[in-house]
Every structure is written in C-alpha cells, then in structure tokens.
Structure 1
Amino acid sequence: MIESLDGIFETVNYKKSTTLKLYDNTEYEDYPMHWHPAIEIVMPVENDYTMHFTNSQIHLREGDICIICPGCIHSITAPETGRRIIFQPNTTNLRFMRDIDVLISFLSPYAVITPEDNPQIYQRLAELLVVIRDEYMEAAPFSEVSIYSKVLEFLSLVGRNISLNENNPEEYNPATREEYALRFMEICDYINEHCSEELKLNEIANMSGFSKFYFERLFKQFTGTTFYKYVNQKRIAKAQELLIEPGNSVTDVALNCGFTSISSFIRMFKLQKGCTPTEFKSLYWTAELREKGNE
C-alpha cells in the first residue's frame, strides 16, 4: 500500500529508526502512477502483476524481479489474490560509491530480472529478497546492517551481470568483457559529471578509443540505451535534484542542465517523468510541507 501520496509523489515512510521499507503485500489494491526518491524492488511471490511506466508496460510472473530506479514514474495493476515483496531501501547514502551511482544510471528507469534471461544470478537474487523480507519482519538487533549488506550483494551481482554483452555473450571473451566494462564505466562517469555541458558523440567515441559506429553499438549493449538518450536521462536526473532546491526557477534549471531551450527541456522532462518541471516542483514541495506539518 502507498501510505503517503501527494499527486504522484510518494513519501516513503521508512520503518522507525531505519532507512528501509518493506511490504509483504497480500492486499488487492491497484497502485496509481507515482514516483519516489527511493529505489524499489518488486518480486511477485504468488500470482502475476502488471507494472505500468510512462512509455511502457511489463508483465511480472511469479518470481520475476523488477528494479525500479529513483524518480521513475510507475503504477501497478494487481490481481484479486496474490502476494509480493515490495522493498524500498534508501540508496542515497550509498551513492558516494561510484559503482552504485553508475549502476542506477545503467538500470534507469527500470530493469527486469528473470530466470531465463539471467540464470547466473537470478536464484541468488531471489534468495536475498526472501532473506531480507524475513530479517525485516523479525527486526532482530543489527538487522538494518545485515539487510544493507545483502542490498550491496544484490546490487553488485546485478552490476556484474547486467552490463556489456548480456545480449551477445558469445562475441567477447571474459577478459575483453572486463576491459570493455571498465572502459565504459569510465565513460559513463565522465558523462555523469559533464552532462550539463555539450557532449558530442564523436568526441566521446574518440575518448573511448573506438570508432563512432562501434562505440554506439557497444554503448547501447552496455547501458541498454543510446548515447543521447543516456545523456538526456542524466540531465533530467540532475534537473530533478535542482528543481527541489528552493529558489531555482525552471529556466535556471534548464540552462544548468545543458538544455538550450525551455521548450526542449519541458518536452524531455515530461517525456521521461510524465509531468512538467513546474508540476514536479509543486508536487514535491506540497509533499514536503505536509510532512513537516505532521512532525
């Protein structure tokens, strides 16, 4: 269930004295379109579920795992009976680690893990979610530390396996895959730091040491999206952070995030988030003021 929803913004009510929220959900309830700053991991345990995103829809079977990145607008259509794990750990404090920040960029806006597509890691990921659920419900001393250790294992497994060559594993040997993965992590680091600047495909391809056309192909394999879509995702992610800071106008945010016109910024923001920057800003501050009023 969604406990605190204002417009489409969900305030995640973490368990007391923790930065964790988990539902062992058996309720028959559809979840409307919403977003939140926390990452969300959903695994149906009994029956199937349908996830809706701004521009797509996926069907989760029993046992499939969906990772929803922070800021991703989504909804869920539930069957009349069933059970699912909905886990929302706050990963903000983990993003000082480069790997976490890059991984969330790779997965954005969401990723689905299935036993067919990810046989090397699926079983362990499913086991980790069940253990996390049990520890959360038991609430033993140091359970938060134990759970976050499992969150890190979960993310590291995903990061090592959901990357370059998932679609064409036979094309490269393990040494080449590792070399390319490290190279593209450095490229993505650079894009993350310089996304507000003008980034040209030719120049970034030269930095990587690959030809433009080979770079485009490898970049899409590694990140799951095209170069320019990735850049725009990072710009919109940065815009989200700036929009919630007091005193920043939509125009200021657009210019500070590398957009050359307000109209292109608004269009891209709405395409990715399902609302305009002004609506996003209003929804956030309405929820923030309400939360302070309840303290």
Structure 2
Amino acid sequence: MERTESCQETSFYETRKEIYDCHVWHHPNFPLHMHKHLEFAYNAGGQMQMTVGGREYCMEAGDCMLIFPYQLHSFSSEGEIDLSLIIADMDYVGEFKEELSRYELETPCFPKSSLSRYGQRILELVRTSAYDSQVPYQLDKGLLLVLLTDIFHHIPMSPRNAPADLSISQKLLQYVNEHIVEELTAAKAAKAMGISPYYLSRIFSEELKTSFPAYVAGQRLNLACNMLRNTQMSVTEITYEAGFPNMRTFHRCFRRQFGCTPTEWRSSSHS
C-alpha cells in the first residue's frame, strides 16, 4: 500500500442524519471532507486513491480502510470499482465508542488478509448485505460490531497520546454546518469561535482553499440538492429551508454552480 503526502484540497464538513448506511459505490469520487461518523470501506475490485488525515493511500482490490470520526478524507478513482462502504454514527457502535477515543490504527489502510478467517467471512457478509436493502437493521449492526471486534484484535493499534481534539479549522467547519440554515456571517462565526474575522478569512483561504461566502453557499446548495432530489417540497420552500435569504440569491448561486435552474436540475435528477 503505497503512501505519499497528499496535496491540499478544498475540505468541508458533511452533515449526515442517518445513523447507519451501507451501500456499494462503483465510481467513488468525493472531495476532502469530514463528519462525526465512523466509516469503513472495502475495495473488492479495481484500484482507487483515498486521502486520510493528510496522507494518500492507494487501495488495491482486497484492501480495507477504517476512518475515524472527524478525520479529513477523500475518494478518487478512474474506471469502475467495487467498493462497499459503511458509515455509522458513533452511538451505533456501542462499546467501541470508548475504544475509538483511546486508540488509533497505525495505518487506516490494511489488506483483508490481515483479518482472521472469521473476520474475512464477516466482511463478505457485509459486502453481500450492501447489495440487499431488505437486510434487517439488527443484522447490519451485528455484522459491523463483529467486524470491528476482529479489526481491533488483528490490526496494529497504538494509544492516543492525548484525547483527540478538533483543530480550529475542523471546529469552524462543524460550527458553520450546524448553523448553515441560519443567518450566517463571517463576523458571527468568528465571534463564536473566539477568533478574529481576519484569522477566519485566513483559515478559509490558506487551509481550506476557498472563501467563507463560497463555502457557505456551496453547503447550502448541497442541502438544497438533497431536498430537490428526495422531497416534494417546492423550490420556494427549499430556498428558505436551505438557508438562502431569497429566491433570487438561490437561483443565481444554483445556475452559477450547475448551469440550470433548480426545477430543471430536479427533473434531470429524477429521470
């Protein structure tokens, strides 16, 4: 598993409401982001790149990746991949919530063969369940807990030197996304973080490679797209539910990003 320093990308905090999600991803491409969930990826076929914690990993067929909460990570691939992905809220993993706060994997990427024969069988069951939407919630949870048990018994881990604290940039992304539908200004966010507006601007421009207004608009567009795709809400309702101040601003940002109106995007998404 080759590992190199990764170039910086624009990163964002992903707001997820689901406590558990297991699905197959054939074309995994997703920019640098973080969330409060535990994430497990298993590549059953093909080759892809993943960035975790500022390091780049090449995932070959048969490789696994365990990503801890609040770790910045991204996916990149060319061609078709057979990637099974589990994303679980920390309350979902029970006793491992404490384990994850005290220890960390020496490397997040490891081959399937590192697991015991039981762990490898469980991994295949997890992969099978990703293709079946009828798998009961309790079975999915049981498979994940057994898989984590095997990982923590067979993959080298080391104690954390201190409790993991979020960096100021991570805290800032988290704050913005927790208040994304509210009236949100750089001055208000800076005050909440206890920093100056100038320092906030530097964090976005130098670390996150974007501006505060552009980041906020992008996150609101992501939220709007989810509502356009998954609800029957009107475009007017979505405008305000996503945090935009008015329809004119929403349409301008949407057309600049997607080259079409929200209504046109909704129609093409459904088709």
Residue 175 of structure 2: aligned partner = 242
The TM-score with structure 2 as length reference comes to: 0.57
| Structure 1 residue 43 displacement after superposition | 1.9
Residue 50 of structure 2: aligned partner = 51
One-letter identity of the residue aligned with 1:242: Y
2 CA distance for matches of 1:251 and 1:40?
33
Q: In 1, are the aligned partners of 2:12 and 2:33 still within 8 Å (CA)?
A: yes
2 CA distance for matches of 1:267 and 1:162?
39
1 CA distance for matches of 2:215 and 2:99?
24
Residue 23 of structure 2: aligned partner = 22
Deviates more, 1:262-271 or 1:59-68: 262-271
2 CA distance for matches of 1:242 and 1:43?
31
1:77 aligns with 2:77: yes
Cα deviations by residue, 1:121-151 (Å, 9 ceiling, x for unpaired):
46554433321121232444x5222111222
One-letter identity of the residue aligned with 1:111: P
The TM-score with structure 1 as length reference comes to: 0.53
One-letter identity of the residue aligned with 1:222: P
2 CA distance for matches of 1:143 and 1:131?
13
1:231 aligns with 2:231: no
**Shift in alpha-carbon separation, 1:237–1:252, aligned structure 2, 3 A:** same
1 CA distance for matches of 2:75 and 2:212?
20
After superposition, where does 1:215-230 map in structure 2 within 5 Å?
A: 221-223=158-160, 230=164
Q: Is the helix fraction higher in 1 or 2?
A: 1
Residue 290 of structure 1: aligned partner = 225
1:136 aligns with 2:143: no
1 CA distance for matches of 2:200 and 2:82?
37
Residue 89 of structure 1: aligned partner = 87
Q: In 2, are the aligned partners of 1:36 and 1:70 still within 8 Å (CA)?
A: yes
| Structure 1 residue 22 displacement after superposition | 0.7
Q: How many residues align?
A: 214
Which blocks of at least 5 consecutive residues in structure 2 are unaligned?
1-10, 232-271
1 CA distance for matches of 2:116 and 2:203?
34
- Find the residue that maps to 1:286 and give its secondary structure: helix
| Structure 1 residue 266 displacement after superposition | 4.9
Which blocks of at least 5 consecutive residues in structure 1 are unaligned?
1-6, 167-220
Q: In 1, are the aligned partners of 2:21 and 2:87 still within 8 Å (CA)?
A: yes
**Shift in alpha-carbon separation, 1:54–1:135, aligned structure 2, 3 A:** closer
Residue 66 of structure 1: aligned partner = 65
Residue 213 of structure 1: aligned partner = none
2 CA distance for matches of 1:286 and 1:113?
35
Residue 145 of structure 1: aligned partner = 138
Q: In 1, are the aligned partners of 2:42 and 2:83 still within 8 Å (CA)?
A: yes
**Shift in alpha-carbon separation, 1:152–1:280, aligned structure 2, 3 A:** farther
| Structure 1 residue 60 displacement after superposition | 1.5
One-letter identity of the residue aligned with 2:31: M
- Find the residue that maps to 2:85 and give its secondary structure: strand
